[in-house]
C-alpha cells in the first residue's frame, strides 16, 4: 500500500507540472544520433539519398502508467537545385502517465547547403510545426483527493476547463558544419527550438514554452577497407560524440561512443544533468545490426537500455529505446546531370563532400 501511494503521489506531481505554469522539458531520446532531425533541422539532407527513421522510447517503466514517445521522420537530399540541402517531415508523439496527457507534433523541415571548401560544408535548416496537446481530465489525480493512509478517497475541488486540447504553431532553427578528410568525418552544430515561445496552457493564463537549446558534435573514424558504397570487407567505424541540451535552466549532457564492426553496432553513453557524477546519472548501453539490401540500401535496427546508477532513481526504473532506420542512397528528388558550384573562382564537385554516415 505504501509503495502504491508513493507511485500515485509521484504521478500526481508529474501531471501537476504539465498543466500549470511550471517549467517542463521536451522528451529526450537516448539514441539522439538516430533521431537527428528532432534535435537539429540542419541535418535534413546532410547525406545523399532518402532516410526514414522510426523511434520508440519507453521511460521509467516501474511507474504505473504510460511514459512513452514515438518519433517518425523522413528526409531526402537534393543536390540538383543550387543551394538546396533537402526536405524532411517529422511526426512526434508523447504520452505521459495514467492521465493520458499526449503531445503530437507534425513538422516540415527544409534545409540549405552551402559548400565552403572542397571538404568543408555548412548546412542550415528550419522546422515549422503544428503541435496538439491533449489531456483526459477524468483520469487525473490531484493532491486534494489523496489521504496519507487510504490513498485516493476524496473528491477533488478542481474544475477543469471546457476544452481538453490546444493547438499552436512552433518554430525551430539550426545550423551545422561538416568537415571531411581521409577516413574521418566530423559534424558540429547547434539549434534553438520553440523560438516564439508559444503558450501551452489549457487555461486562460499564459504558460510560454521555454526555448530549448542544443549543441552537439561527433566524429566518425572510418577504419579499414570497403567495397561498393557501404559494404565493407574489413575494418570498423568509431563514432564518439557529445550533446548538450538546455531548457528552463535545466541541462542534460550525453557523452559516449558507438562502434560498428561486421554489420553490428555497439555503444556506451553517459547521461547526466551535469558533467559530474551526482544525483541523476544513466549509462546507456546500445546494440544493433545493419542489414544491407545491395550496395545502396540497408535496414538498421538498434536497441538501447538506460541503466540508472544513482539511488535517486529507485522508484522510476530504467528506460528502453528502439530505432528502426531505412536508408536508400540512390533516391533523390530530381534527376539531372552532376552540378558544379563555384567558390572564390574555383570549381568543386559536391560529390566529394558526400561521406559515409555511421
CA 269 to chain centre: 15
Say how far apart CA 285 and CA 30 lie, in whole Å: 10
Least Cα distance to 98 among 64, 132, 133 occurs for 64
Instruction: Please state, in angstroms and rounded to a whole number, the distance separating the CA atoms of residues 306 and 191.
Output: 25
In order, the DSSP letters of 52-78 are EEEEEEE--TTSSS-EEEEEEEEEEE-
The model's confidence at residue 24, banded by pLDDT at 50, 70 and 90, is: low
Q: State the residue for C-alpha cell 517503466.
A: 61
Task: Please provide the size of the chain in residues.
Answer: 358
Asked whether the predicted pLDDT for residue 318 surpasses 50, the reply is yes
Would you call 13 helix, strand, or coil by DSSP? helix
Whether residue 344 has pLDDT greater than 80: no
Q: Can you tell me the distance from the alpha carbon of 252 to that of 39, in angstroms, rounded to the nearest whole number? A: 13
pLDDT of residue 327: 93
| Residue, of 339 and 173, whose pLDDT is higher | 173
The predicted structure's pLDDT at residue 7:
44
- pLDDT, mean of residues 58-81: 81
Q: What percent of the chain has pLDDT over 90?
A: 42
Architecture of the structural domain at 2-156+165-353: Beta Barrel (2.40)
- Cα 66 to chain centroid distance, Å, stands at 19
pLDDT digits (tens, 9 = 90+) for 192-214: 999 999 887 777 666 788 999 99
Contact 306, 52 (CB under 8 A): no
Name the residue ranges covered by the structural domains of the chain.
2-156+165-353
Question: Which residue blocks in the chain are alpha helix, DSSP H?
Answer: 2-19, 36-39
Q: Are 264 and 283 in contact (CB under 8 A)?
A: no
Which has more pLDDT, 270 or 200?
270
pLDDT attached to residue 22: 44
Identify which has the larger pLDDT, 226 or 137: 137
Residue 179: is its pLDDT beyond 70? yes
Distance CA 350, CA 151 (A): 65
Lowest mean pLDDT among 6-10, 80-84, 225-229: 6-10
pLDDT at 341 over 50: no
Residues 76-91 have a mean pLDDT of 88
Q: What is the DSSP string of 191-252?
A: EEE-TT--B--SSSS--BPPPEEEEEEEEEEEES---SSS--SS-EEEEEEEEEEEETTEEE
Average pLDDT over residues 325-346: 64
33 or 156, greater pLDDT: 33
Decide if pLDDT at 143 tops 60.
yes
Amino acid at each position: 500500500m505504501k509503495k502504491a501511494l508513493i507511485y500515485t503521489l509521484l504521478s500526481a506531481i508529474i501531471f501537476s507540472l504539465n498543466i500549470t505554469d511550471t517549467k517542463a522539458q521536451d522528451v529526450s531520446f537516448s539514441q539522439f544520433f538516430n533521431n537527428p532531425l528532432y534535435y537539429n533541422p540542419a541535418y535534413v539532407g546532410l547525406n545523399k539519398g532518402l532516410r526514414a527513421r522510426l523511434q520508440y522510447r519507453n521511460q521509467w517503466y516501474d511507474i504505473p502508467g504510460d511514459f512513452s514517445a514515438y518519433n517518425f521522420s523522413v528526409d531526402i537530399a537534393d543536390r540538383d537545385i543550387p543551394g538546396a540541402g533537402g526536405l524532411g517531415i517529422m511526426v512526434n508523439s508523447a504520452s505521459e502517465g495514467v492521465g493520458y496527457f499526449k503531445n503530437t507534433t507534425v513538422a516540415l523541415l527544409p534545409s540549405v547547403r552551402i559548400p565552403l571548401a572542397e571538404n568543408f560544408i555548412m548546412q542550415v535548416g528550419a522546422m515549422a510545426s503544428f503541435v496538439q496537446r491533449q489531456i483526459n481530465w477524468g483520469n487525473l489525480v490531484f493532491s486534494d483527493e489523496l489521504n496519507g493512509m487510504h490513498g485516493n478517497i476524496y473528491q477533488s475541488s478542481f474544475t477543469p476547463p471546457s476544452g481538453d486540447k490546444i493547438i499552436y504553431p512552433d518554430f525551430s532553427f539550426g545550423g551545422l558544419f561538416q568537415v571531411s578528410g581521409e577516413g574521418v568525418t566530423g559534424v558540429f552544430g547547434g539549434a534553438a527550438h520553440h523560438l516564439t515561445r508559444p503558450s501551452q496552457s489549457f487555461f486562460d493564463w499564459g504558460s510560454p514554452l521555454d526555448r530549448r537549446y542544443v549543441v552537439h558534435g561527433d566524429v566518425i573514424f572510418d577504419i579499414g577497407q570497403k567495397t561498393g558504397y557501404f559494404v565493407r570487407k574489413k575494418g570498423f567505424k568509431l563514432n564518439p560524440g557529445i550533446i548538450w541540451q538546455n531548457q528552463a535552466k535545466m541541462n542534460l549532457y550525453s557523452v559516449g561512443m558507438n562502434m560498428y564492426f561486421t554489420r553490428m553496432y555497439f555503444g556506451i553513453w553517459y547521461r547526466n544533468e551535469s558533467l559530474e557524477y551526482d544525483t541523476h546519472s544513466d549509462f546507456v548501453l546500445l546494440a544493433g545490426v545493419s542489414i544491407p539490401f545491395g550496395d545502396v540500401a540497408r535496414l538498421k535496427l538498434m536497441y538501447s537500455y538506460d541503466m540508472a546508477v544513482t539511488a535517486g532513481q529507485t522508484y522510476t526504473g530504467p528506460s528502453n529505446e528502439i530505432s528502426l532506420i531505412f536508408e536508400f542512397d540512390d533516391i533523390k528528388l530530381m534527376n539531372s546531370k552532376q552540378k558544379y558550384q563555384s567558390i572564390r573562382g574555383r570549381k568543386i564537385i559536391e560529390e566529394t563532400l558526400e561521406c559515409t554516415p555511421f
